[in-house]
Structure 1
Amino acid sequence: MDMDVLSEILQSLHLKASVFLHACFRGDWAVDTSGQRRATFHLVASGGCWLHMPDREEPIALAGDDLIVFPHDAQHTISNSQHPVAEDFPRNQLPDESSTGPGVTLICGYFDFDRDSWNPLVDALPAVMIIRNDGTTGVPFSHSLRQLLIHEIEATQLGGALVIDKLSEVMFINTIRHYLNNSSDVGFVAALADEKIGKALSRIHESPSHNWNVERLAQVAGMSRSAFSGRFNHLVGLSPMHYLSRWRMTQAHQLFQTGNHSVAQVAALSGYQSEAAFAKAFKRQFGYGPGVARKNKPPNQSETGS
């Protein structure tokens, strides 16, 4: 697997993580963070509980040090009961200190990333990812990282908020790496791991503005044109040129958001000889033109003429 491609795709997320809840629950309780249109995570610091999802008939037992990530805001409930939570049962209530029984400590947080731009890795992630403390992750320091996060949250030291957020970001990246090690044979993750298709993806990401065509990418992969196109489409779910175009637009969108480039400059950096052709492709992907993207950059970015 070409980890440079993976690193670039992860960097393009502009990932930010934050913890919003650290509490010990006793008695009857339920936590449900779905419906926020944000990726969320729950780390079971101690104790045992149950994960309920509407598309799964059986609940999933959770134990201490289990990490649950919902990249696409899937509907879910985590509770003390093996049985489904009633619709009218109150959720997300702070723990009642008078409650008795075994305690379950949860750490819950958000993963925020750029959702305006297309990201093939995020699209490939499943509805829920669970990393357990059973030694099967195949990702170095995964358990130690979660324990460090728990320790930092419970220690409440100066500067802890920043450390907690950064540890949460690394935890998300480790979750992605866990998924890479346990992915199926089809999909973008499998394409990254594929010796030949991975080479082509690497070259696309190294030089997206290059004058690529299917023949040149097939040569990079060491395959015939037809075999390359078929395998690329099978793994990635897009044709090579469609993937190239979408990634170019993703990079272009980020250039508008983070710099003061003109539309003509970004068009050239994206491999387009014609500003009009670039504008048409950009609007086809985002639903609005490059001028709108350029004006709607973060407020701390100064603007120049087009």
Structure 2
Amino acid sequence: MANQDQLSDVFATLRLRSDVYFRADLSGGFSILVPAERRLIRFHFVLNGVGGVRLGGDWVEMEEGDLVIVPNGAGHVIADCPDRAPVPLPDVLGGGAMGEDGVLTYGSGEGRLQLLCGYCGVDEAVDHPVVAGLPPSIVLRTRDLGHEPWILASLRLLALESGLAAQGMNGTLSRLLEILLIQTLRRVPPPGEGAGYMAALADPKLSRALSAMHADPARPWTILDLARVAGMSRAGFSDRFTRTVGLPPLGYLTTWRLLKARRLLRETDLAIDEIALRCGYASLPSFTRRYKAAYGIGPGAYRRAERPR
């Protein structure tokens, strides 16, 4: 269980997907309000020039090679300076700024910022701590990544591929955004510093408990069982797990069981009662009630909606 790749397992279950919105070529004094949109994780990669992102009251400067990530679909402003009044993105698009080449061209005058803008998304009906616990913004600066060549290589490949304009470019860029998201999530503080799902994975004791739940969700786990796996006292384990992950141990177990069931309903032909058993539910009615309470739709209806004739 120690070598189980839990992060890949989580994102496969959450149905991670990505795409490129457009390239932006912004000049002069500009300020564009990007509206809030569902639970998308937005990306702005600087191909050339300087500018910044304003998120709430915070201003994040960015320059060539930097990547700014805005999680949870939050609205934000892209501008040349922090105090310029923004124009909503729909108004910019409505003014004919989007060209047939997929480049959004806006503004005039001195100064220039060229961006590649895209997003990653997950199954919006589910709420896993790995996504819910992301900070308001994440910035990757090439000048700070000398000790992390794997992320630096991904950023450089993103820049090279965006300039290639070859067949398959969007597909390649989309996969690179997913790679960068996962690489970024692995940049967590040392155990005992900070909180969140990735901090729990970096904690040897909590990671053992998470691995046990992921490997055998059908087992009737108790907090005492999981504490023994972690090598901790019952009270100490429960408190540390809850503070770090943001959910109590059995609350996380329920979340993972239902996510696992959702994936099995979508990707297999197993009978629903068999899926219930594999995910820790001894009876079909109890599984159905819990699934519907979590997602607003029963397991059978979900399967039919996901796999139409």
TM-score, structure 2 length as denominator?
0.87
The equivalent of 2:243 in structure 1 is 234
How much does 1:131 deviate?
A: 1.1
Deviations 1:79-118 (A, max 9, x none): 1123232467954543258x33232110001212212223
> What 5-or-longer segments of structure 2 have no aligned partner?
98-103
The equivalent of 1:172 in structure 2 is 181
How much does 1:136 deviate?
A: 4.4
Distance 1:285 1:7 in 2: 23
The equivalent of 1:290 in structure 2 is 299
> What 5-or-longer segments of structure 1 have no aligned partner?
none
The equivalent of 1:80 in structure 2 is 80
How much does 1:217 deviate?
A: 1.0
Distance 1:8 1:48 in 2: 37
The equivalent of 1:9 in structure 2 is 10
Q: Give me the identity figure in percent.
A: 30
One of 122, 126, 134 as aligned partner of 1:117: 126
State how 1:164-243 maps to structure 2 within 5 Å.
164-179=173-188, 184-243=193-252
The question of whether the paired residues in 1 share the 8 Å contact of 2:14 and 2:259 is answered with no
Where 1:211 maps in the other structure, the secondary structure is: coil
Q: Cα gap change, 1:136/1:156 in structure 2, threshold over 3 Å: closer, same or farther?
A: closer
How much does 1:165 deviate?
A: 1.8
State how 1:1-306 maps to structure 2 within 5 Å.
4-37=5-38, 38-56=40-58, 59-86=59-86, 91=92, 93=97, 94-96=104-106, 99-136=108-145, 139-179=148-188, 184-299=193-308
The question of whether the paired residues in 2 share the 8 Å contact of 1:139 and 1:178 is answered with no
Deviations 1:30-78 (A, max 9, x none): 344332222211001111102112243xx22211111111120112101
Q: Cα gap change, 1:74/1:151 in structure 2, threshold over 3 Å: closer, same or farther?
A: same
- Root-mean-square deviation (CA, aligned residues, Å) is 2.5
In proportion to residue count, which structure has more strand? 2
Deviations 1:1-27 (A, max 9, x none): 966112211222222211121132211
Distance 1:53 1:182 in 2: 29
The question of whether the paired residues in 1 share the 8 Å contact of 2:55 and 2:75 is answered with yes
How much does 1:179 deviate?
A: 4.7
Q: Cα gap change, 1:137/1:278 in structure 2, threshold over 3 Å: closer, same or farther?
A: farther
Where 1:158 maps in the other structure, the secondary structure is: coil
Q: Cα gap change, 1:205/1:88 in structure 2, threshold over 3 Å: closer, same or farther?
A: closer
The question of whether the paired residues in 2 share the 8 Å contact of 1:214 and 1:229 is answered with yes
Q: Cα gap change, 1:179/1:216 in structure 2, threshold over 3 Å: closer, same or farther?
A: closer
Number of residue pairs aligned between Structure 1 and Structure 2: 297
Distance 1:31 1:178 in 2: 30
